[in-house]
Chain A
Amino acid sequence: MFSLAKQITPRISTLGRLQQPSMKLGRAVGARFYHEKVIDHYENPRNMGSLDKHDPTVGTGLVGAPACGDVMRLQIKVDDDNNIVDVKFKTFGCGSAIASSSYITERVRGMNIEEALKIKNTDIAKELCLPPVKLHCSMLAEDAIKSAIKDFRTKRGGELRSAPASA
């Protein structure tokens, strides 16, 4: 099972720790900070938890790998009109990964799954002001929602009821 990793210092996969100004080989490495939006999601994660993966209306997406440093589990509960009525996440990883997955759960709640499939990692990265090295976290969150939707569809056996016709 995953627990929300309360890591004090951020990690980037195999790169070692990013922290406040540090001396490395006699040269100061610039200070790096988390954007306040990332800190907000980290301290107040939205929709953290789990849904019943055996529920036929629940799709579970599991992406990432422990060896890489980030694992995300995203679950959606979908109603008969293919709208996402509930969503939960659990993420093991750095602050940016946690924020990316927390943020995406906020975005998709209430969305039709077709809409949710259109969310791009660039939207997430822009919203959270992710630095270059953390763009991969936003990609992982995009992968997570796609994976959850795919799982839901697979469970449904490809029998999708059509989305409600727009007025």
Chain B
Amino acid sequence: MASLSDSEYHDRSSQAMDALTEYFEDLGDELENDNYDVEYSSGVLTLKLATHGTYVINKQPPNKQIWLSSPFSGPERYDYDQEKKTWFCRHKDESLGTLLSREVSEALETDVVVPIN
């Protein structure tokens, strides 16, 4: 599978990061929890999930990856899979969206479906 060009990486990662930011901001508005916070700057998304811990999701341009730090499952790296059209971790055999949806749903005890490819 051919790897992404720099501009493709830039577009796809920005798309994903923007979608995540918007989703978690909206979720925060719904929850109205003082301990919930979302911040996105310089390619780094920081999501404070109430008392559960902090997610850090960031672009990693040298590797053309998105890096995740989860308070539940720890660090992970995602490559853009052009066949699956999603940010995918071969090591865990699942996409970033799937992991986030599962973990955040469990933590917040509500149905969360993170809309990123």
Select which of B54, B62, B63 is within 8 A of A132 by beta carbon. Answer: B54
Smallest Cβ distance from A159 to chain B, in angstroms?
Answer: 28
Surface stretch bound by A, among B22-30, B68-76, B96-104, B109-117: B68-76
Smallest Cβ distance from A28 to chain B, in angstroms?
Answer: 13
Q: What A residues does B42 contact at CB under 8 A?
A: 14-16
Q: How large is the interface on A (under 10, 10 to 19, 20 to 34, 35 or more residues)?
A: 10 to 19
Select which of A13, A15, A125, A133 is within 8 A of B74 by beta carbon. Answer: A125
Given contacts A14-B43, A15-B58, A133-B69, contact A121 B63 (CB under 8 A): no
What 1/0 flags go to B44-84 for Cβ under 8 Å of A? 10000000011110111111000101010011000000000
Smallest Cβ distance from A42 to chain B, in angstroms?
Answer: 20
B residues contacting the other copy or chain, number (CB 8 A): 18
Cα(A131)–Cα(B55), bound, Å: 10
- A132 engages B69 (CB within 8 Å): yes
Secondary structure of the A contact surface, majority rule = helix
- B69 engages A136 (CB within 8 Å): yes
- A132 engages B53 (CB within 8 Å): yes
What 1/0 flags go to A53-82 for Cβ under 8 Å of B? 000000000000101100000000000000
- B75 engages A135 (CB within 8 Å): yes
- B60 engages A135 (CB within 8 Å): no
Q: What B residues does A135 contact at CB under 8 A?
A: 69, 74-75
Q: Is A129 an interface residue (CB 8 A)?
A: no
Q: What B residues does A121 contact at CB under 8 A?
A: 74-75
Given contacts A15-B42, A132-B55, A132-B69, contact A139 B74 (CB under 8 A): yes
Closest-by-CB residue of B relative to A25 is: B41
Which 6 pairs between the two chains have the least Cβ-Cβ distance? A67-B62, A135-B75, A139-B75, A132-B69, A136-B75, A135-B69
